[in-house]
Each structure stands twice: as structure tokens, then as C-alpha cells.
Amino acid sequence: MIRSAAFVTAVSLAFALAACNTVEQRVGGAAVGAGTGAVVGGPVGAVVGGAAGAVSAPTVVRATRRATR
């Protein structure tokens, strides 16, 4: 059960990272996410926030660009 959950998580993370447009978006999102996560949850929050920021940054950037046009 745990192996299958880990496999599904790894595959979905790989697909999400493949959707990133540029390295700058990934690095910027990871930095913001890690900083926010560190403030909220300490070292564990920094790791989780960095991963979440790297994954979600391209989506946020696209949405922001559409909203400003």
C-alpha cells in the first residue's frame, strides 16, 4: 500500500515538474515557497514549501500574465 502511494506521488510530481516552462519560474517559485514554508512550519515547512512552490509557480505566472493583459 505504501509503495503504491509513493509511486503515484512520484509520477504525479514528475508530470508536474515537466509542465514548468522555464528554470527561472521553478527557482523563483521554490524560493518563495521555501521562505513561506520556513516561516510557517520550520525546516520541514521549508522543504514542503519549496517543492510546492516549484511545482505551482508556472501556473501562477501564467494566471498573473493573463490577468494583467
Which set of grid coordinates corresponds to residue 51?
517543492
Mean pLDDT of 18-33: 72
pLDDT band with cut points at 50, 70 and 90 for residue 42: confident
Residue appearing with cell numbers 515537466: 18
pLDDT above 60 (res 41)? yes
Q: Tell me what pLDDT residue 52 has.
A: 86
Q: Are 41 and 48 in contact (CB under 8 A)?
A: yes
Query: What share of the chain has pLDDT > 90, as a percent?
Result: 0
Q: Are 33 and 54 in contact (CB under 8 A)?
A: yes
Question: pTM for the whole thing?
Answer: 0.58
Q: Tell me what pLDDT residue 2 has.
A: 66
